A and B are shown apart, each in its own frame.
Chain A
Amino acid sequence: MAASAHDQQLPEAISEEALARIQASSDSASLEALRVEYLGKKGRLTGALRALGSLAPAERPAFGQRVNRAKEALDAALAARGEELRLRRREAALEASAVDVTLPGFGPTPGRPHPLSRTLTEICDVLGGMGFTVEEGPEVEDDYHNFEALNMPADHPARDMQDTFFVGDDRVLRTHTSPVQIRVMERQPPPLRIIAPGAVYRNDDDATHSPMFHQVEGLMVDRGVTFAHLKGVLTTFLRRVFEREVGVRLRPSFFPFTEPSVEVDVGCVVCGQRGGECRVCKGTGWLEILGAGMVDPAVFAHVGYDPEEFTGFAFGVGVERIAMLKYGIDDIRLFYGGDLRFLRQF
């Protein structure tokens, strides 16, 4: 019987052969087949163990140990190879579902709001944050609200400053957003903090003037509102809108509906007030940016506010003007053409 042990293949030989085949296996099914072939109930290594009985008792422990070592080696190899194949499968699955993330997303590429809308929104947000509420009024206005109630009676020379479009029946295309002041004051008592954005019209047309453009009107009325508040609010507003500490300068001016009246300049945002050859500020270092003033008592009289009790300031700012300065746009007509090559830049 002792010879029979030698008839059997040595466990090391079986194991060596099995390990090579495990290593060569390429999928989990063939790996399982190998496990059955070697370690199954009728497996070859299991068979080797069954042959233990035919060995001399003295050889048995050593042989048994050798078979067990071989089994352990095979188990470990099967598990390792199994894991390896699982990882490889996962890799392959990932590889198979790869996408090119740099390809464009589905559907249309997004568009943009108009630069004037963006600017208008910024203006309204800054002033909204300071407690001003948005109001609106008609674009085709009557003479009373556009002129008369704003202290510009018929034949007032100031009417010439505003190249007016007439549409008949005592109506005009509003030349400014100021009539909204009147409409709001007619409707409600002080205190008031309002802004009125919208389109306005002047009979004028060149690179910096369009027959239609946009303004934001502001009005604050309360007890104790002074010129100092006008300065404070407008300075804060302009610095927020231009997102920097621009210089702000107030010059006397004239509007029939405010007194004292103010023209507000900001330090040139294009040349940074270095002057010289700057085309935008023409070397003066200053840009005219908005008109303002303390509400004229005559305006209060028109709406029945007591000018002794209430004071206020009003201002009007051109949206195009600010957008042109912020974005470096040199021709106002670009805003209204709808050219996508322009609109895409904002």
Chain B
Amino acid sequence: MRVSCNWLSQFVVGLPAVEEVAARLTMGGLEVESIESPVLQYGDRLVLARIVEMGPHPSADRLSLCQVDDGEGCSAIVCGARNMKAGDTVVLARPGCELPGGVRIKVAKLRGIESRGMLCSAAELGLAATGDGILVLEPGLVAGAPAAPLLGLDDSIMELSITPNRGDCLSIRGVAREVAALCGARLAPAFELPLPPWSSSRDRPPVRIDASGACSHYRGIVVRGVSVGSSPTWLRTRLAAAGLRPISNVVDVTNYVLVEAGQPLHAFDLALLAGPELAVRYARSGERLRTLDDRDVDLDCGDLVIADANGPVALAGVMGGADTAVREGSCDIFLEGAAFTPAAVRRTSRRLGILTDSSARFERGIDTGAVEAALWRAARLIVEVAGGRIEEGFCGDGVAPAAGEPIVLRSSRVEKILGSAVPPQQAQRILTSLGAVAAAHPSGLEVTAPSHRNDLVREIDLIEEIARVRGYDTFGSELPAIRMQPVSLSACDRAARELRASLASRGFYEHVGLSFASADTNARLRGLHRDESECVRVRNPLRVDESELRRSALASLLEAYRLNLSVGQSRVDLFCLGRTFSWESDGSTDRGGAPAAHAHGGRAVCQIETLAGLLAGPRPGRGLGRGEAPAFGDAKAAVEAALALLAPYGRVRFVPCAERPEYHPLACARVLAGADPVGYLGRLHPVMAEELEITEEIYLFEVDWRKVVEYSPRHEGLRPIPRYPSSSRDVSLLVPRRLAASAAIEVVERLADPCIESISVFDEYTGAGIDEADKALGYTIVYRAGDRTLTEAEVTALHGRVVGELAEQLRARVRT
């Protein structure tokens, strides 16, 4: 909201300097975002002047010579423009006057004739960006009067950010009321809107409200015999200060009153309205309206309209229709002022995407008690600037809503909320300054809110007003004395920190990617969601490639990888922690832990907390050198180390997985926590790499880490430290190349022999001496008994049995 200080000063007695007003408003809750102050002081160096005589310059074809009356006498002015004539009122910059752009006017001889000043164009005064010809004002202005106030050149404009609850401050009067309350100033007599001389309404033409839920009252007033033309300068200046474009004197007046009083008005050409009556009703399906901005709008039965016999003539509270609008040549006008409900106006305005100064005010709620006063003010102004006469009496329907019930404000409650007592007299003074009526009440005050403050309906609303106007800085500040409760980091919060620390220590940088993805990306990277689950589409995305929520966190890692590659980074090890999304048809919270899906009419959004990572580029091993490309083991080590913080090492297992389209079918593992699949780890599928134009071998992982946290078993209790020595034996097995090394481990674990302590792989060999279809796997098996030292013979016998089982179950040959 742009607020002109000149305009404001009409309503506030002794308006303080703009800086002080701005500071008070900001600290009172009406944030002043910026102030435009005049740079130049014109005083009497810039005045209105009348051209007495105008003729050609005797020695220059392109110049004219004017005799100009500037109130103190006539002076000769040489001028390059010719758009003016004798009798016109113009703006004269006298010698010494500085104009925008650094021009300083001097007495100058132009082709032999001394010119004592300059006639100004709108552009030269900074009122327009371009434009030839000097500014010609309307007749009737006094020559010699300072021009700056009339043109708003001495005005300061504050840009206010008005919160949605303060519709009353979308007007100069509303802001003036705040300024008076916050600065302790008085409101000027001009503040009171003039009241019409009649109180009853007459039906001429009859108006009927058929949608009383959407319009409490509607008033019209007829002004006959107006002449539509351009507005006088003062009116244009006011509108410009408010950021509005002048249109015609009648329309400009409606806009003027809208800005001044906050009441939107509309002017119809009475002759263009088809009788016998106007109705405020909902549109019927199939009805159309051409709006003032020349759009043809299809109406639906939720749109509130004003309709004549032929159909809708205005979108109530949003915009008038083009066919019945006041235009050049209109003679009799019907001026509308009404109280439409916020919901009705908001609905149509949103549906059609038409946001206007009118809809903005109705949406926030207008002063329902001042509709008639504003209408009367506008009618009188129209007569002032466009002539005509007001036909006595309003027509209309409905009545203004009665004032709300008085609100009891308990002093005890004020203290309970604000932490310190506010004397009732002070509270009363504050509330009165805001236009409320506050009377004493046994427990504090009984307050009736003014009609312009539709946001004051509860006790708490009044408490806020008291705090706000008194100043938040006048209240104390203290730390609460609390009832102690055990506080601990939640398991998940702690786990997330540990994952970050672990991966960072292994060389990974954390990436935070946006949750959006393109449909294409989601089709390619299915993430940890069930394959058949639907993607979550964003109805109103910012960009096409952000039209869905991501199923997988890998996409943004791949994107970051490509970015880093393009700027010359070689090793790109990244991880991210964030959610991924899909619709789950069944509303249970089946996936994703605490924040997961929430049931809601069958469908729910599954929101999985995902740990994802990417490894690319050479990484140093032991010692220096250029390093080696990442291998599966690098990725696995990182995932194992990270997850080992969530569940004991060894409990998270990795099994071959060939069916994920994003991973290499023979270089991918499914990650299991217990028996539960929790994620994947592997090399980017070469086909997908080709599609993405990635030439390097890169590794990816994606894990539902919350599931690992949930899985994490409690400590099982201490096993005794072994008292007897162990013996270990190695065995080398020749097995088919594709046999998993874990197969042998599983065989031995299945034996469940109490004397077998552990089995681990120490070697994998392919190459010379071994058939191409085979590989050799070396295992170390540790034997130990809990109650004695195993003898050499026992170990040999046991080992023989183990090797026999391995050979048989795996069809392995034992290498010797």
In the complex, chain A residues whose CB is within 8 Å of the CB of B510 = 111-114, 117, 343
5 of the cross-chain contacts (CB-CB < 8 Å) are: A112-B504, A226-B418, A228-B476, A232-B479, A338-B574
B contact residues around A212 at 8 Å (CB): 514-516
Please tell me if A235 contacts chain B, counting CB pairs below 8 Å: yes
Residues of B within 8 A of A220 (CB): 480
Interface segment out of the listed B95-103, B342-350, B427-435? B342-350
List A contacts of B594 (CB < 8 A).
136
In Å, the complex CA distance between A210 and B419 comes to 37
User: Please, which residue of chain A has its CB at the minimum distance from the CB of B497?
Assistant: A121
Closest to A144 in B: B600
B residues 324-358 touching A (CB-CB < 8 Å):
342-343, 346-347
Contact with A along B484-511 (1 / 0, CB 8 A): 1101111011000100110111111111
Q: Which of A35-43, A45-53, A252-260 contacts B (4 or more CB under 8 A)?
A: A252-260
Q: A226-B418, A236-B479 are contacts. A260–B463 as well, Cβ < 8 Å? A: yes
Do B508 and A111 have beta carbons less than 8 Å apart? yes
The answer, yes or no, to whether B8 is at the interface (CB within 8 Å) is no
Q: Are A107 and B507 in contact (CB under 8 A)?
A: yes
Interface residues of B, count at CB 8 A? 103
B508 to chain A: closest residue by CB: A111
Interface residues of B in 566-604 (CB under 8 A from A): 567, 569, 571-574, 577-579, 581, 594-596, 598, 600-601, 603
Of B482, B490, B563, most buried by chain A (CB within 10 Å of CB) is B482
Q: What's the Cα separation between A275 and B477 when bound, in Å?
A: 26
A222–B416 Cα distance when bound, in Å, is: 12
Asked whether, in the complex, the Cβ of A227 is within 8 Å of the Cβ of B418, the reply is yes
Q: How many Å lie between the Cα of A173 and that of B546 in the bound state?
A: 13
CA distance A193 to B486 in the complex (A): 11
Chain A 218-251 interface mask (CB, 8 Å, partner B; 1/0): 0010101111110111011000000000000111
Question: B residues bordering A, Cβ < 8 Å?
Answer: 26-29, 31, 163-166, 342-343, 346-347, 363-364, 416-420, 458, 460-461, 463-464, 467-468, 472-473, 475-480, 482-485, 487-490, 492-493, 497, 500-501, 503-516, 536-542, 546, 549, 556-557, 559-561, 563-564, 567, 569, 571-574, 577-579, 581, 594-596, 598, 600-601, 603, 605, 607, 619-624
The residue from A113, A132, A251 contacting B500, defined by CB atoms under 8 A apart: A113
Chain A residues touching B, range = 35 or more
**Cβ of A271 under 8 Å from chain B:** no
B506 touches A339 (CB 8 A): no
Interface contact A252-B467, CB-CB below 8 Å = yes
Judge whether A103 is part of the interface by a CB distance below 8 angstroms: yes
Give the 10 A-B CB pairs with smallest separation, nearest first. A338-B560, A108-B507, A252-B29, A226-B419, A228-B419, A254-B163, A231-B477, A114-B510, A157-B164, A260-B464
Which residues of A are at the interface with B, using a C-beta cutoff of 8 A?
103-104, 106-114, 116-117, 121, 124, 128, 130-140, 142, 155-158, 160-161, 165-171, 173, 191, 193, 199, 201, 203, 205, 210-212, 220, 222, 224-229, 231-233, 235-236, 249-254, 256, 259-263, 294, 296-297, 311, 335-341, 343-344
Docked-complex contact B620 and A107, CB < 8 angstroms: yes
Taken together as a complex, chains A and B put the C-alpha atoms of A188 and B622 apart, in Å, by 54
A interface, by DSSP: helix, strand, loop or mixed?
mixed
A138→B557 CA distance, assembly (Å):
23
Do B417 and A294 touch (CB < 8 A)? Answer: yes
In the complex, A90→B475 CA distance in Å?
Answer: 76
Complex formed: what's the CA distance from A139 to B514 in Å?
A: 13
Given contacts A252-B29, A341-B567, 14 further A-B contacts (CB under 8 A): A106-B622, A108-B571, A110-B505, A111-B503, A113-B501, A113-B504, A136-B594, A160-B164, A165-B541, A232-B477, A260-B463, A297-B458, A338-B511, A338-B564
Q: Which residue of A lies closest to B463 (CB)?
A: A260
Asked if A228 and B605 sit within 8 Å, CB to CB, the answer is no
- Cα separation A25 to B299 with both chains bound (whole Å): 115
Contacts of B347 in A (CB 8 A): 155
Q: What separation, in Å, do the CA atoms of A158 and B363 have in the docked complex? A: 10
Q: Which residue of A lies closest to B558 (CB)?
A: A338
Name the residue of chain B whose CB is nearest to the CB of A103.
Answer: B624
Find chain A residues with CB under 8 A from B346 CB: 155, 157
Contact A140 B493, beta carbon cutoff 8 Å: no
Query: Is B601 touching A343 in the complex (CB atoms < 8 A)?
Result: no
CB of A152, distance to nearest CB on chain B (Å): 10
Q: Are B483 and A139 in contact (CB under 8 A)?
A: no
Contact A259 B460 (CB under 8 A): yes
Answer whether A166 and B540 are a contact pair too, CB < 8 Å, given A111-B573, A231-B476, A338-B574: yes
**Minimum distance in angstroms from B26 CB to a CB of chain A:** 6
Q: Which of A156, A201, A251 has the most CB of B within 10 A?
A: A251
- Report yes or no: B417 in contact with A311, Cβ–Cβ below 8 A: yes
Q: Which residue of A lies closest to B416 (CB)?
A: A311
Please, how many angstroms separate the alpha-carbon atoms of A253 and B161 in the complex?
10
Q: How far is the CA of A236 from the CA of B594 in the complex (A)?
A: 31
Chain B residues, CB < 8 A from A132: 487
Residues of chain B contacted by A111 (CB below 8 angstroms): 503-510, 573
| Shortest Cβ distance from A154 into B: residue | B343
Smallest CB-CB separation from A251: which chain B residue? B27
